[in-house]
Amino acid sequence: MSVRILAERYAMAFVNVCKDFPRLREYMEFVDEWSDFLRETPKVRKLLEHPITPFQKKRNIVERLENFSRYPEEVQKFILYLIQKERIDCFPFIVEALHKYIAEQEDVIRGTLRLGTELSPSAQEKVIKHLEKQLGKKLQVKVETDPSLLGGMVLHTENKILDASVRNNFKKFLQQLQKGV
């Protein structure tokens, strides 16, 4: 079974544990914090992923972590369950699946918006609002500047790329010229 499919199953199990959407949104703060912790502390992550280390030792380490005790009980149990089942290595994919689920529920498109030139925050907001109006959905994007676009923008989402860059328009123009010759 692929890691992504497995991650989606664990993510949906966690959604069911949360029982309602507002609680899921609240718990995601702690899930994201744990995900960041695992990414920033590779030694701890490797220890928790190691199949030879007994679960009780892993549990003792996790429970002694300063921030873990303030996590809601459901989040603690979920993390410990993943450690016990030796699935903590799937955690980044589970978090990704949870964010995807939340975005779908909120009718939000997540992605990256690459701009050909740097824009002020208010101009960026206008561009995002225009795209939201065009797409009919709310956008949650990370904005990057990419001078190689020569101007315009490219929106990368999970399953689409909308390219309105000068570079892409120029490339299309050249292709049309070559066909006509």
Which pLDDT tens digit goes with each residue over 160-174?
888 888 888 888 888
Q: What is the DSSP letter of 151?
A: S
pLDDT score, position 37: 95
pLDDT score, position 14: 94
pLDDT score, position 63: 93
Instruction: Give the right CATH number for 108-180 from 3.40.30, 3.90.550, 1.10.150, 3.40.50.
Output: 3.40.30
CA Rg value for the chain: 21
**In a 10 Å sphere around its CB, with 0-12 CB exposed, 13-18 middle and 19+ buried, how is residue 80 labelled?**
middle
**CATH classification (class only), 3-103:** mainly alpha
pLDDT score, position 167: 84
Sequence spans of domains, the chain: 3-103, 108-180
Which pLDDT tens digit goes with each residue over 116-144?
889 899 999 998 998 888 888 888 889 99
pLDDT score, position 78: 96
Closest CA to 127 of 106, 154, 89: 154
Mean pLDDT of 172-180: 82
Which pLDDT tens digit goes with each residue over 8-65?
999 999 999 888 888 898 999 999 999 999 999 999 999 999 999 999 999 999 999 9
Instruction: Please determine, for residue 102, whether its predicted confidence score (pLDDT) is greater than 70.
Output: yes
Instruction: Please determine, for residue 159, whether its predicted confidence score (pLDDT) is greater than 80.
Output: no
pLDDT score, position 51: 93
pLDDT score, position 178: 84
pLDDT score, position 181: 59
